Amino acid sequence: MATLDDWRIAYAKQGQADLLAREQLLEDPTLPQCQHLHFLQMACEKICKAYLCGQGSDPDDLRRSHGYISGPLPTIARQMFARTPNADRSWVLRAIRDLARRIELLAPTVDQAGTHPANCEYPWKLSDSSVAVPAEHNFRINLAREPAGRHLLKVLQVAAEELIR
């Protein structure tokens, strides 16, 4: 029978694979933004689920939702930054909290009760009844330009490595 540690490690390893896939997709400028953002969203979700398994959450409960980024990710970042003495990271934590929610909303099932239908996977209906295509949509998330973008990526990479141990 699989243990919580088995699930923690499995989620963390798959999260690392998703981050790697995202990096590969970023190298091709002809690919639409939704492709690498989809892998970012999945990586965040899996690394957060790995963290939650490490905290004792039931893996069966975690598989039922994609809404597991905006809560755990800022906590993971805060714990990581707490290891650096005398570092005021409050601005980074606020920015990561904002980014975490925006990334969580990229999943099609996390649409804020229909008020945020834009997602990286499936077309959605616009207010004028036309159809939006993820491959043509600007999600306005560019980690290279976000104030805490590189910090978020570092948090994800380090967290995944630590969760595998």
Number of structural domains, the chain?
1
Mean pLDDT score, 26-47: 97
Rounded Cα distance, 165 and 116, in Å: 37
- Looking at the chain, the whole-number percentage of residues with pLDDT higher than 90 is 83
Torsion of CA 68, 109, 32, 149, to 10 degrees: -20
Whole-number pLDDT of residue 101: 95
Here the tokens at position 114 are 């229909």
Kindly state the DSSP code that residue 144 receives in the 8-state scheme: T
Q: How confident is the model at residue 68 (pLDDT cuts 50, 70, 90)?
A: confident
So what's the pLDDT on residue 123?
Answer: 97
Our CA angle for 44, 111, 145, nearest 5°, is: 50
Residue 34's pLDDT band, with cuts at 50, 70 and 90, is very high
Better pLDDT: 165 or 113: 165
Is the pLDDT score of 70 beyond 90?
Answer: yes
Given a cut of 90, whether residue 156 has pLDDT beyond it is yes
Q: What is the pLDDT of residues 1-23, one digit of tens each?
A: 899 999 999 999 999 999 999 99
pLDDT digits (tens, 9 = 90+) for 85-118: 777 788 999 999 999 999 999 999 888 777 889 9
pLDDT range class, residue 61, cuts 50, 70, 90: very high
Provide mean pLDDT across the span 123-146: 95
CB 32 within 8 A of CB 134: yes
Q: Which domain holds residue 156?
A: 4-164
**Per-residue confidence band for 50, with pLDDT thresholds at 50, 70 and 90:** very high
What is the C-alpha separation between 147 and 128, in angstroms, rounded? 34
